Structure 1
Amino acid sequence: MLQLFFLSLSLVAGPAIYASETSIEAKKRLLQNLKKLSLKDLGQVQFYNPEATSAARKTQKLLDTPAALFVISQEDIRRAGITNIAEALRLAPGVQVAHINANTWAISARGLNGLASSKLLVMIDGRTVYTPISARVSWQLQDLLIEDIERIEIIRGPGASLWGANALNGIINIITKAPQQTQDDLVTTYLGTGEEQAILGVRHGGKMKNGHYRVYGKVYKHDNFVVRLDQQNNWLMKRGGFRADINLTGRDNLTVQGDIYDGFNKQNLFFSGNEPPITNSHSFVSGLNLLTRWKRKLTNGDFILQSYYDWVESDQTMLYKEQVGTYDLDFQHRWQTNDRQEFLWGLGFRYVHDDFEKHSTSFVSFAPKKREYKTFSGFVQAEFILQPAVWKFILGSKFEHNDYVGFEYQPSTRLLWTPHDKQSFWAAVSRAVRTPSRYDEDSEVRVQMGDFGMNALGNRDFQSEVLIAYELGYRLTPSHNFFLDLSLFYNDYEKLRTIEPIGFQPPSTLLTTYGNQMTGEVYGLEMAAQWQVSNDWRLMATYTYTDVQLHLLPTSQSVIGEVEEGDTPHHQATLRSVLDLPQNMEFDTALYYVDNVPNQHTPNYTRFDVRLGWQAQKDFNFSLGARNLFDSQHPEFGIGLEGNVQIPDEVRRAFYMQMNYRF
């Protein structure tokens, strides 16, 4: 443990300790220290100072990152008994995860959550899964073989200066393992009740000339929730995929990966007023994606060229059938001029085409039925080491031109101060935008409430929502077994979406359209702490406070008002315990608290999860677990006044058994 202590200090202090040495000598000395550590000690080093790529488009340590970054590791996912990506996000501070029904989540960072949360950019290995159609993420479609996830990087706050529009409140990037890390064959099985009913996953990893590959297949079946009507909301997804990493030359690497999936889910559609709900509405979905990434190492940096195509086809039997294709091309070049200066720049192009076919009973339609839109972008960022191991300054901006509103700029400036080898401070000011979606501009939604009706029409003059974010952060490592991360933020929003009346259609239908007639402020505190109590016992805690204040402009006549203030809980907290027992046993617990959500008529709730694991053999492990152990059922999100049309259900107590076999 003494070796771990000195290595942790070296990772935090870095150049301060080796200021008199050359960069090469410092790296050699650090490498020698790493070689002396056990595998368990190495795991603790990574636990306190994990690597991530999303905050800076390059690999760097958490303690060198002037952003509100949190990393969920594969070990965190396994020990928490997590079986899908959406639920894994509960482990992070500042992220609100609300399970609406068996196949639907409302997820956002730093407030303003909703069924169609529009301000969170989500990627899988750099491929965007945020849809420009409805400005949301369809979480039931975002799945992988959970054992193939290396880590989930979560940035609370804007990342638009590097990643572009729609990265307002945060960025989530799911990073999968390199194929050379998954060379074994794997069979994983899961049986449960209350949430997932069954999961079966298989994976094969192998070598090829100058590289490695893996292929996988998975079937995922989710149980019904506690429902408020005589209905079903279960869902089933089948998927498969591959990834291959090839060493083309000593400095060129090529990655090719893809996925294909097919499935269905059931849901209820709720209509305001006297219209009866539609129960057991089916939604059939299928899709595929293919991504290639070429990376070349240069003398003083590297460049990456990435391209992907994503296709989704969905048939919502009571609404519409949609087909959406996205082609994306992205280039970035990192150039380090000397030990104190580094420049990063890049270019991008995105082309989206869609086709909507309205069903006869649908109350939602799009005009035109087909549309194409393009986005051209570029970014530049400069990083300056003002004083080695003490001051770092970052300045950059993203520039975009899209077919919705034209030109957008999204600058950011960040400062990192490390006055001592055990603590650091950072500050940031950023501008980000949420560009209009197809839904904002081209949709028509018709709601009938008895003799009275309301039609909400898209608005081709709808503007981008704008955020100016102010952030402060502090990180402390007073000893080798404790880590504390604090973040304060103040978000100032302009041009938020409202629903404005525009006229009256005889005999009794109110016409409305989307406007930008609201401003707002969201501020809060986020905390994450990790404590290695002993060699075999680790505690992790998070706490989040968020307050949302919205204000209609004097020119607004919004038919809804500022009700979205009540879509965010003021307080959230988690406490996790990870304990290694004799005989290769593991005992893990997790306690989650979420405050009430007034606008969704959802009371506060406490959830307790427990897991008992056993590494029976080197290649075989077995676990039993329970979720929501102390509560038979509870709601997490309700029917808000801003227009949710899905009937919420209640999360059930769940029990499960899981087995993994590697050979």
Structure 2
Amino acid sequence: MIRLRLAVVALSLFILAMVAGAAPSFAEDKDVSAELENLDLEDLLQVEMVSPSERKQSLENIAGSYTILTEEDIRRSGARSVPEALRTVPGVVVTRTDTDKWAIGVRGFSGTFNSKQLILVDNRPITSPYFHGVIWSSQNLPIQMVKRIEIIRGPWTSLWGSESFNGVINVITKSAAEMQGNQSVTTAGTDGVSQFIRKGGHISENATIAVYAKGGYEPGTNYRIRGRTEKGSTDWTTGSGGFRADWLNAYTDQFSLQGQLAGSSITEHSPPGNPFSANKDKSDYSGYTQILWDRKTGARSGMQFRSSYTRTEITVADMENMSNTVDAEFIYSNEQFEDHLLTFGVGGKYFWDDFKQGEKVQVSNDSIYRLDFSGFAKDRITLIDEKLFLTLGLKLDYSGDSSLAPQPTARLLYMEDDEEYWVAYSYANRKPGYWLRDGSYRIRVRDKEYTMDFSDDLDNEKLNSFEAGYRKLFSETLKLDVSLYMNSYDQMVTFSFDDDTSTATPISGLSGLSYGTEIAFDWQPYSFLILRPSIDISNQDFQKVPDGIPGFSPPLNTPLYNLKLQALIELAKNWELGLFTSYLNSMDDKDLSTGFGFDARLAWQARKNLSLELIGNNLLTSADESNFSPVEPSCTLRLTWDF
């Protein structure tokens, strides 16, 4: 406990010192109020777009591969959870491996404990510091709270550090001002039932608050996994409640305070495609609170301070884990000499985990403590006005159990009329997660069981990433986005199997290449029809890749293609139809077919404040022709009432 208090005090003093050190620079800016009074409406909208970290702004005109799912996109997709909303994104593979488990992968890596991308909610990391994956069963964020989802494919290490190995997914929730009034959302169908309710109001003229609660029940279903039908977990009961309060001072300061408590219980069945389940009842709990201060000191300058505390209690097979995380970051941005937009930031994270050991899953220590620090600097240089921009960035990550890890990035963007060309280079260097260095558990590989023999003697995983892209706006109704990438991986964690002792040992012995292209169109041929086709073609060339390690995210070591098509149709006034189909398979003799996934949504806006939706999932999936999919299709009725 003493170590915890000392660490929290040290982290707080470090952040406050950086804030104090940056404060004198504000005196050099123009008077903010006077400057804002002279801006017209269009300029004021641009001020809203400028954020110190460039995380809140629109991702237009950046040298990178990205997709933004707006609130309208999410609603019309029929998604009932964040993982479901990500299915339509090029380069992202979403697999529901059990009733309460998802595997999300970006550019070729996927697994229940996939550690190859960083996932955030309002810039708060929800990736487990210990497991290096997202335990989705403990999140339970209502999809009705989500304003947009930003998906950045490729490493953005100079801004988010080594955790953004293959990409970043940032879920942005609605402000309290955007959740005024009352809303009720009721769903019922073959997948179960749920109820969401929200109420928003004013605290004062400039302050708003919203509170919400959600409960649900899913009976569970069976899944087709690697050619076999596996019984999924059953009786999944979930509940969550939270709040958000915002205070806005003119156009300069914004304070936000938010928090949530969530819990779930389920009867697990093992194995539903991964080894981290057991034949038992289990319960998971989570909660967080976050404070954010965003201050704009000028039309092209500002700062941001964010801090959060997160606590989760989860069960992995028969081991119980209680995790606590305190993190804070300070970011400052300012335009210098009109050609340089400088951004720098510092942050820290302290986490401590306690474990109640199980018989099947154990770790070497009952408690783990770690304090991480990081700092970054970035300069967006205008080489040719409104045409050519160079971004140089560097982030330094320091972990309590490893050396300083530099993460540099260079990005070049050229814009000409309705076209954009960009190239980028990024380097990532990170220590493998604790779960690979400290855990002891059993896994089944090729119908044989092995006991994990953990090892702390692992090298840092390294990535050199080269990217290029092209975007063109042919007209107001037709857009094209093309991305190409080549990633060179070194010292990646793989496993050495000893059949005599039936043990599997993690080793830093995997190197190889991953390369591919993502092509996406956004086309509105008629006023009532929007088509969004995409194709993702990738290839992985690694040596000595063990097959069939469940739960982790080894490369598939095969050329793949992933076809997706979304159609949004306005059938008539107040009637909408949404269709989505996808197909993933290999281009060699490895059959990785997921079948033709097909989802549909029919919506009727009965009144201005009342809508009814009929949502069908996995409508064309055949259990005899696909892997990693529910055996049975599902149908859900969703009623949304604003009152």
| Alignment pair present for 1:587 and 2:584 | no
Q: Give the structure 2 partner of residue 352 of structure 1.
A: 351
Question: What are the superposed Cα offsets for residues 286-326 of structure 1, whole Å, 9 maximum, x if unpaired?
Answer: 0100000111111351110100000001234x521110001
Structure 1 contact 498–558 (Cα < 8 Å) conserved: no
SS in 2 for 1:347: strand
**Structure 1 residues 338 and 372 mapped into 2: Cα distance closer, same or farther (>3 Å)?**
same
Match of 1:370 among 350, 367, 370: 367
Give, in whole Å, the separation in 2 of the partners of 1:383 and 1:559: 44
Give, in whole Å, the separation in 2 of the partners of 1:208 and 1:29: 27
Q: Give the structure 2 partner of residue 109 of structure 1.
A: 106
SS in 2 for 1:147: helix
TM-superposed deviation, 1:536? 2.1
Q: Give the structure 1 partner of residue 309 of structure 2.
A: 309
Q: Which moved more, 1:629-638 or 1:102-111?
A: 629-638
Structure 1 contact 365–444 (Cα < 8 Å) conserved: yes
Q: Give the structure 2 partner of residue 656 of structure 1.
A: 636
Amino acid at match of 1:163: W
Amino acid at match of 2:512: G
Q: Give the structure 1 partner of residue 256 of structure 2.
A: 255
Question: What are the superposed Cα offsets for residues 309-354 of structure 1, whole Å, 9 maximum, x if unpaired?
Answer: 00001234x5211100011011100111143211000001100100
Report the TM-score when normalising by structure 1.
0.83
Q: Which moved more, 1:625-634 or 1:198-207?
A: 625-634
1:225-244 to 2 correspondences below 5 Å:
225-227=221-223, 228=229, 232-244=233-245
Give, in whole Å, the separation in 2 of the partners of 1:493 and 1:448: 26
TM-superposed deviation, 1:623? 1.3
Amino acid at match of 1:267: E
Report the TM-score when normalising by structure 2.
0.86
Match of 1:208 among 193, 203, 207: 203
Question: What are the superposed Cα offsets for residues 576-601 of structure 1, whole Å, 9 maximum, x if unpaired?
Answer: 11122333111221122222599997
Q: Give the structure 1 partner of residue 319 of structure 2.
A: 320
Q: Unpaired segments of 5 or more residues in structure 2?
A: 1-34, 224-228
Give, in whole Å, the separation in 2 of the partners of 1:377 and 1:121: 15
Alignment: residue pair count: 597
Structure 2 contact 230–271 (Cα < 8 Å) conserved: no
SS in 1 for 2:556: helix
Q: Unpaired segments of 5 or more residues in structure 1?
A: 1-22, 35-45, 639-648
TM-superposed deviation, 1:62? 3.7
Give, in whole Å, the separation in 2 of the partners of 1:616 and 1:453: 56
Structure 1 contact 70–153 (Cα < 8 Å) conserved: yes
TM-superposed deviation, 1:266? 3.1
Amino acid at match of 2:79: I
| Alignment pair present for 1:608 and 2:608 | no
| Alignment pair present for 1:199 and 2:199 | no
Give, in whole Å, the separation in 2 of the partners of 1:525 and 1:27: 42
| Alignment pair present for 1:548 and 2:540 | yes
Question: What are the superposed Cα offsets for residues 414-467 of structure 1, whole Å, 9 maximum, x if unpaired?
Answer: 00011x211010000001134322212222225699xx9743222222222111
**Structure 1 residues 568 and 162 mapped into 2: Cα distance closer, same or farther (>3 Å)?**
farther
| Alignment pair present for 1:80 and 2:80 | no
SS in 1 for 2:119: strand
SS in 2 for 1:351: strand
Match of 1:629 among 606, 619, 629: 619
TM-superposed deviation, 1:609? 1.6
Give, in whole Å, the separation in 1 of the partners of 2:538 and 2:387: 31
Structure 1 contact 634–652 (Cα < 8 Å) conserved: no
Give, in whole Å, the separation in 2 of the partners of 1:24 and 1:388: 24
Amino acid at match of 2:479: F
Q: Give the structure 2 partner of residue 389 of structure 1.
A: 386
Question: What are the superposed Cα offsets for residues 342-386 of structure 1, whole Å, 9 maximum, x if unpaired?
Answer: 100000110010011113xx2221111111011111000011111
TM-superposed deviation, 1:496? 0.6
1:35-74 to 2 correspondences below 5 Å:
57-74=54-71
**Structure 1 residues 636 and 86 mapped into 2: Cα distance closer, same or farther (>3 Å)?**
farther
1:327-476 to 2 correspondences below 5 Å:
327-359=326-358, 362-418=359-415, 420-446=416-442, 454-476=450-472
Q: Give the structure 2 partner of residue 148 of structure 1.
A: 145
Amino acid at match of 1:310: T
CA root-mean-square deviation: 3.3
Structure 1 contact 166–435 (Cα < 8 Å) conserved: no
| Alignment pair present for 1:90 and 2:87 | yes
Amino acid at match of 1:580: E
Amino acid at match of 1:462: L
